[in-house]
Structure 1
């Protein structure tokens, strides 16, 4: 679990030196988390577009974390990226979600584009420190991609996409007119035919800059249309199919980060309360649970077990995915299916842990947890919004079908 996230140091935009390693980037992520945590509750309540937060991510160099060093990025792997997402999400869930979504979308050309085009896009992304938004979920009705002489025209309406209010590039899913084949498409949101709107009235994840986006005959170059997103058997290589577990483990790290962040806040609140408390006078649960209240201790112990168990599953799934990504095109269907199932297991466990922790952890605080000034409610709202968008019921069925019948999970990209 993370340690308490309160810190009063000043904001820093210093990037690691060339050749920085995993430890350096995790240090930058912790500094970013400490920075974000100082006013996370106030910013979340204000609900403004996170332009300043994205600027800080850009200045830190974290946006180019996964871009290979030869393309101008940090050259880190997904183990580091997941740890960064989890660290940031513990301090500020929506910004952690935004960053994780960016990592997945900016990495997607490696899954769906040819290697030369993927290298070219990553180089431009690193040079411009692009923040990626959008979404290629199977749940969204596809946009329409109409072929033209020099490319395509993109039209349609997407109900929700993360980061549309701040993204430098959008990755979306569109179906070719006449054939219906779904493809991944890269779009410049600065084009006048792209119109987005924020959903500031959402229950949680208010700083993820999400919202609807409409495309009105937006010109698309042929090079910005990548490979198929078809769920049909054999349409994608096993390596390209790793896009699904990669995205599910972003969801996993977000859930774990938010859950661990609330536990850290509760721990810090209790420490501060004990430090300032007058000679203790026991009161009955639940008005103000004393530090040795057996029920409060049991709740914290149970939730620690839940968090550690989900974290262990996540680590196992990340290790499996890392091995699969290293195999590249040598990966076979059975290995891909096993990785996908492990990722679904991890996501289901993390989702359950986050829901339970963000519901029960406040019992340890007692009545004071209801005070708006603490902002504890944001953890629950961020979790509930995310788990409504990413329900695990279908994942559980797929897990059962795999272990009982050997059925491979379908290619279904999460929201």
Structure 2
């Protein structure tokens, strides 16, 4: 195992299997609970305060913290499995959890062991939900230059700073307990990762209530007006220069992207499972041909063309899962390497994550679109089955990043041996 660095903490080890077995059961129970009223909550589109309470009660907000008898945390493999199952029941809550987990790890990527321990300890002890940008100061734009103005600026004030500016976020603008943000220091130009309490009166939120999908992620914009940031709330320093950024730090955006891939996979699997239940219960509306084998005629979902459609969709889901698994394993191994992670290992992880992202995004859209068609004529005497929400959620989630970027990186690596750039951009 790598030694603990003087400036970065050692990656935590997995907790014993006996304790690890708790999380699948806890997650399954919570997912079942969320699935019961998922459609009602999606239609209402209210901030997910109640859903967050359920996550806290289940202990899932504190899952991705250093394992041990006092904290009982777990590793990235388990965290991704939790995200996937929660997302199958309610993908908005799955995305909230995915972004929270990526932010929980942020001080390990950019800070010292003391800073990481302090953040993770408070996340665990105070049941925090984190929101923010995971150390990506301009996820959708080019890194700042001399001709551009950062959207968030830190002005030195006493022993700390004052934060000014405005930024949009994909999740948690009104329900987060703390915000993890990257902002440029007005004096030095350095990008600092800071922890901010959203309850400060200098912070105003503007939630996006009319989103097409992922309505319960609590997306929106936040404005900061002279918000104090004490020195102890600095979590680390980020960089946009490939010459100064470490391969380990660039796992930060890859960890978030892979977590969101598990959300997309959960959407596909959740849509399939609910459609299967509906198809099993629906009365048969087709006429059996004389040559049709008896077993088909006896089944409620015995239409051979319906079976063919489900076979294709299940195969697509299995294909996505088969691509996601090696990416998850590779990222987990890379995180354990810490600062010993090399450029070549990081490149392999980046390509696997890109492949998982491209395949899963395509599968999620294919599956949710086809599910809409398969359930369009289903008996809906009990009301709208609500399968449109799966397509809407998949569409909004996958639109956050163009698949062209992932496919181009894969092709360049395969054809030319080019390493994906070391970057903090999503």
TM-score (norm 1): 0.88
Query: In the alignment, which of 46, 62, 65 is matched to residue 64 of structure 1?
Result: 62
Match of 2:366 in 1: 356
Name 1:36's counterpart in structure 2.
Answer: 34
Return closer, same or farther for 1:58/1:365 CA change in 2, 3 Å cut-off.
Answer: same
- Residue from 382, 388, 410 that aligns with 1:377: 388
**1:398 matched to 2:403:** no
Deviation at 1:296, TM superposition (A): 2.0
Q: Name the CA shift for 1:368/1:280 in 2 (closer, same or farther; >3 Å).
A: closer
Tell me if the contact between 1:248 and 1:414 (Cα under 8 Å) persists in the aligned partners: no
2:267 aligned with 1:269: no
Offset of residue 405 of structure 1: 2.0
CA RMSD of aligned residues (A): 2.3
Following superposition, the deviation at residue 409 of structure 1 comes to: 1.6
**In the TM superposition, what is the alpha-carbon distance from 1:341 to its structure 2 partner?**
1.1
1:3 corresponds to: none
Change over 3 Å in CA distance of 1:127–1:165 after alignment to 2: same
- 1:241-260 residue pairs with structure 2 within 5 A? 241-260=250-269
Contact 1:66–1:73 under 8 Å retained in 2 = no
User: Which is further off, 167-176 or 87-96?
Assistant: 167-176
Pair 1:282 & 2:287 matched: yes
Aligned to 1:322: 332
Q: Deviations over 1:87-143 (max 9, x none)?
A: 000000101111111111111111111111110111111110101112243325541
Query: Deviation digits for residues 344-380 of structure 1, max 9, x if unmatched?
Result: 1111111111011111123332423899621111111
- Taking a change above 3 Å as real, the CA distance of residues 369 and 20 of structure 1, as seen in their structure-2 partners, is farther
Q: Which residue of 2 aligns with 1:85?
A: 83
Matches for 1:285-300 after TM superposition, within 5 Å: 291-300=301-310
Q: Give the alignment partner of residue 173 of structure 2, picking from 139, 143, 164.
A: 164
Write the distance in 1 (CA, Å) between the matches of 2:64 and 2:197.
Answer: 21
8 Å CA contact retained: 2:163, 2:227: yes
Structure 1 spans left out of the alignment, 5+ residues: 1-17
Any conservation in 2 of the 1:348–1:396 contact (CA below 8 Å)? yes
**Aligned-partner Cα distance in 1 for 2:224–2:357:** 32
SS of equivalent to 1:239 = coil
Structure 2, unaligned runs of 5 or more:
1-15, 141-149, 290-298
Q: Secondary structure at the match of 2:176?
A: coil
Say if 1:381 and 1:283 are closer, same or farther in 2 by CA, change over 3 A: farther
Q: Report the 3-state secondary structure (helix = DSSP H, G, I; strand = E; otherwise coil) of the residue aligned with 1:48.
A: coil
User: What is residue 367 of structure 1 aligned with on the other side?
Assistant: 377
Number of residue pairs aligned between Structure 1 and Structure 2: 390
Which has the higher mean CA deviation after the structures are superposed, 119-128 or 400-409? 400-409
